Amino acid sequence: MMPAANIQVSETPLVLYALRRADDALILGHRLSEWCGHAPMMEEDMALSNIALDLIGQARELYTYAAKTEGKDNDEDKLAYLRDVRQYRNLLLVEQPNGDFAQTLVRQFFYSAFADLYWRAMMTSRDTTLAAIAAKSEKESAYHLRHASEWIIRLGDGTDESRQRTQSAIDHLWAFTGEMFAVDDGERAMIHAGIAVDPGTLRGRWMTTLSDVVGEATLTLPQNDWMQQGGRSGRHGEHLGHLLSELQSMQRTFPGQTW
């Protein structure tokens, strides 16, 4: 049996927009699933698994919409499993390795603080499908943010070691947060059409959320303004390739198989 070949996707602005958000959810969901059976306590094992399932559910809806919008023979499974690493458009933040528990929670906190604002704003999109996906996703992201925030406070205001590990994670991951607020020309046109949300308008409230939680955790946010870029245009680090080799292995080896 020949391994499955990469598919090609017609990346119109709307298809690309949906793929970017779907890829964010899929890759972060997969990262969280890697904790299954390894979290520091059973309750947290279940919590991270449930958040992963929420994110993968969001990815499914967005991939399905992207495939329908493209109008070819692609579907959610092909978009998830049969694209090359350079075809993925996720944020660099979500592909970063889990590291220790503190790094996983800081990554989740940075992303969820943005996603909660983003999905709430997208509920007013003129695209009725995206608005419906947003209405469902916002309920989930509100819980994801609350969960991560509580852990940041617990770790930061805990032992010397937990505080040091959490501060180190904040310092390390901070440079990956700026990409959440970047837009290109295609996305800018959809913002003007009322389909997409301008992420720049969310940054102030995002910073307020971060400052409040990090301050209560007796931690500090970096002052460095230099940010990593590239994920949205398909330029990724080595970590995503390793992740996809695991994520796609079954579909690549046994293409078209069903349960």
pLDDT per position in the chain (259 positions), as tens?
Answer: 456 788 999 999 999 999 999 999 999 999 999 999 888 888 898 999 999 999 999 999 999 999 999 999 999 999 999 999 999 999 999 999 999 999 999 999 999 999 999 999 999 999 999 999 999 999 999 999 999 999 999 999 999 999 999 999 999 999 999 999 999 999 999 999 999 999 999 999 999 999 999 999 999 999 989 999 999 999 999 999 999 999 999 888 888 776 5
The answer to whether 181 and 200 are in contact (CB under 8 A) is: yes
Q: What angle do CA 235, 26, 19 make, to 5 degrees?
A: 60
Find the helix packing angle between 13-33 and 185-192, rounded to 10°: 110
Conformational region of residue 257, where left means phi above 0, alpha means psi within -120 to 50, and beta covers everything else: beta
The predicted model scores a pTM of 0.95
What is the spatial distance between Cα 98 and Cα 100, in angstroms, rounded to a whole number?
6
Q: List the domain boundaries for the chain.
A: 13-220+229-253
The CATH code for residues 13-220+229-253 is 1.20.1260.10
Q: What is the DSSP letter of 116?
A: H
Question: And the tokens for 188?
Answer: 């800018």
